[in-house]
Amino acid sequence: MERVYGSFDIIVIGGGHAGCEAALAAARLGMDTALITLSVENIAIMPCNPNIGGTSKGHLVRELDALGGEMGKNIDKTFIQSKMLNRSKGPAVHSLRAQADKAAYSNSMRRVLEAQDRLTLIQFEVTDLIIEEGRIRGVKVHGDGIFHAKAVIIATGTYLRARCVYGEVSVHSGPDSLPSADYLTEALRREGIAMQRYKTGTPARIDGRTVNYDVMIPQHGDERIVPFSFTNTPEAVAREQVDCYLTYTNERTHEIIMENIDRSPLYSGFIEGTGPRYCPSLEDKVVKFADKDRHQVFIEPEGMYTNEVYVAGMSTSLPYDVQVAMYRSVRGLENAQIVKNGYAIEYDCFEGKELLPTLALKKVENLYSAGQMNGSSGYEEAAAQGLMAGINAVRKLRGQEEIVLKRSDAYIGVLIDDLCTKESHEPYRMMTSRAEYRLLLRQDNADMRLTPIGHEIGLIDDERYAAFCEKMEAVKREELRLKNTPVGADKRTQAFLSAKGSTPLKTGSSLAELLKRPEMTYEMLGELDDERPDLPPAVCEQVAILIKYEGYINRQESAVARFKKLENKRLDPEMDYAEIGSLRIEAIQKLNEFKPVSIGQASRIAGVSPADISVLMVYLEKRRRSREKH
């Protein structure tokens, strides 16, 4: 007999990176929210790499923070090493990455959840969904217990019908030997929702006491740390850091793998799911890049509470005995003791065409989904989706317009648009190359792009917003000041320029013009700039980028203006494209399958050509005119 165990406005299924952000957003926006998860001891765990951020993933975390999410603050509290990657390259690819103390990260996030008003943490496996007349009404748990809700967010990650595999071993379990969730897939299929089977993998964890670090290359963190959260200053997050270490695989390692490749579940077909091309296993790398005689291996501490270290670059699902030989063939790991062996995990997730850009599911009203469940891979990708799903579930229940960030607004916009527009057959990992407007979507200006939206939504409070506006004012003032400060071609200037190896001036110029010179930095110009105000480093960084890249930025902004024209041409989600006789069959099939919300989205669906888009626009224009006539 069914029993009602509770009733909430919003239920989030899953306490992973997506679920935490979704639940916090919903509760902080005033909804009575429950987070139901398999294990409250394992909140926001990192079953794979012990770090947050990295190229493009660092952008996602900063964007999430600028909108009012939690991940940035949580890693600022719990990192053990932090580094700005790609500093030698342009600002578009500068990316923060921080090594996390995994246990501290999980405990800290649990404390934030438990301290949040209107948020209830509950431990259960959700086994079914309650759907009436196409709308979600709640969830079921074991023993026919029922929790009612007006909206539900699925954030079940890598747990649905999860199977862990290494060599000939196959275990029916979630990551880190946690239970798998075996019932929800059927409930989703019952609603006609298309599911697919993905896989990902992880390397072994080794006892750090058995590693010979002396023969490896230490990798230090940055001296001056840039925090992930815009609410923090470098001084506030400064701390002693640990090192990571670099070593390499070698020909012996590759031999061991090739001698046993027939025992690899990847190559024997024992694994069904499709893995991420951009996070390949070592056996994949050795087979696909046979010409390479070595691959990088980074030894990364898992936390201050343990000796365990993560062997980045050696993800594998080879048999245990092969793993032992393979790891011990690496310089510095000759005596390595495996604490946890590497494995691959298969799990069920949605096909992207089931999702709207709001992260609502098309087939069940008020049912949303976020994270690995949507076909992405990565803590950061999951957290970003969780935040958006949480925000949109709240706005839907309040009858407010849901938030869809465009590809020109944020990496989060690129991520979600790709997930629900591009046909994908492998876990989706964010990369800077996916963002066509990446010069505008830098990690340093995430607040400029998104904090006003976070404030309007209600996740950024007035105090933080005031501080943000002050910063923006300071940036504008300083940019203007540099542009309006003349510099004469006088002795002092010429001496300064020659000292910097910069071309002398022929006529007068401005500080801003000088700053545009590649060899010039904002710091250097201080020697020539007597009126310089004392400004926070984040303001100086912004001013320098805006002036130095002004030309590129302007060009990209005009490209965005063109993009928005197509993006703002809305399409009726109920439209039957078979009505448009002159459209190609393939285009009709794809458009009816994906039901795009705009011409812009339609133009990005694989199999829909620019010619099809012209046919569609002509048809829509004719229809508009004929309707105007009647």
Ligand X SMILES: Cc1cc2nc3c(=O)[nH]c(=O)nc-3n(C[C@H](O)[C@H](O)[C@H](O)COP(=O)(O)OP(=O)(O)OC[C@H]3O[C@@H](n4cnc5c(N)ncnc54)[C@H](O)[C@@H]3O)c2cc1C
Binding site for ligand X (CB under 6 A): 13-19, 36-39, 47-48, 125-126, 155-159, 175, 181, 184, 200-202, 279, 345, 371-372, 377-379, 382, 429
Q: Which residue lies nearer to ligand X by CB, 104 or 617?
A: 104
Q: Which residue lies nearer to ligand X by CB, 104 or 615?
A: 104
Q: How far is the CB of 121 from ligand X (least distance, A)?
A: 11
Rounded to an integer, what is the distance from CA 354 to the centroid of its chain?
Answer: 20
Q: How far is the CB of 318 from ligand X (least distance, A)?
A: 15
Beta-carbon-side half-sphere exposure of residue 201 (alpha carbons within 13 Å): 33
Round to whole Å and give the CA distance between 159 and 372. Answer: 10
Round to whole Å and give the CA distance between 181 and 191. Answer: 18
Round to whole Å and give the CA distance between 562 and 447. Answer: 24
Can you spell out the DSSP letters for 379-434? HHHHHHHHHHHHHHHHHHHTTPPPP---TTT-HHHHHHHHHHHS--SS-B---GGG
Task: Please state whether beta strands 296-301 and 169-171 pair in parallel, antiparallel, or not at all (unpaired).
Answer: unpaired
Q: How far is the CB of 459 from ligand X (least distance, A)?
A: 19
**What's the CA angle centered on 232, arms 230 and 234, to 5 degrees?**
110
Q: How far is the CB of 566 from ligand X (least distance, A)?
A: 31
Q: How far is the CB of 184 from ligand X (least distance, A)?
A: 5
Q: Which residue lies nearer to ligand X by CB, 116 or 372?
A: 372
Long-range contacts of 107-110, Cβ-Cβ distance < 8 Å, separation of 24 or more: 108/74, 108/77, 108/78, 109/20, 109/43, 109/44, 109/70, 109/74, 110/40, 110/43, 110/44
Q: Which residue lies nearer to ligand X by CB, 48 or 336?
A: 48
Q: Which residue lies nearer to ligand X by CB, 126 or 450?
A: 126
What are the two backbone dihedrals, phi and then psi, of residue 323, each rounded to the nearest 5 degrees? -60, -45
Can you spell out the DSSP letters for 164-203? EEETTEEE---GGGPPPB-SHHHHHHHTT--EEEEEEEE-
Q: Which residue lies nearer to ligand X by CB, 36 or 475?
A: 36
Helix-helix angle 57-67:411-421, to 10 degrees: 110
DSSP type of residue 15: -
Q: How far is the CB of 142 from ligand X (least distance, A)?
A: 10
Q: How far is the CB of 112 from ligand X (least distance, A)?
A: 15
Beta-carbon-side half-sphere exposure of residue 516 (alpha carbons within 13 Å): 12
Q: Which residue lies nearer to ligand X by CB, 181 or 330?
A: 181
Q: Which residue lies nearer to ligand X by CB, 208 or 313?
A: 313
Round to whole Å and give the CA distance between 22 and 33. Answer: 10
Q: How far is the CB of 454 from ligand X (least distance, A)?
A: 21
Q: Which residue lies nearer to ligand X by CB, 13 or 309?
A: 13
Q: Which residue lies nearer to ligand X by CB, 175 or 319?
A: 175
Q: How far is the CB of 600 from ligand X (least distance, A)?
A: 27
Round to whole Å and give the CA distance between 410 and 417. Answer: 11
- 296 has which bridge partners? 248
Q: How far is the CB of 291 from ligand X (least distance, A)?
A: 24
Q: How far is the CB of 240 from ligand X (least distance, A)?
A: 28
Q: Which residue lies nearer to ligand X by CB, 201 or 413?
A: 201
Region of residue 359 (phi > 0: left; psi between -120 and 50: alpha; otherwise: beta): left
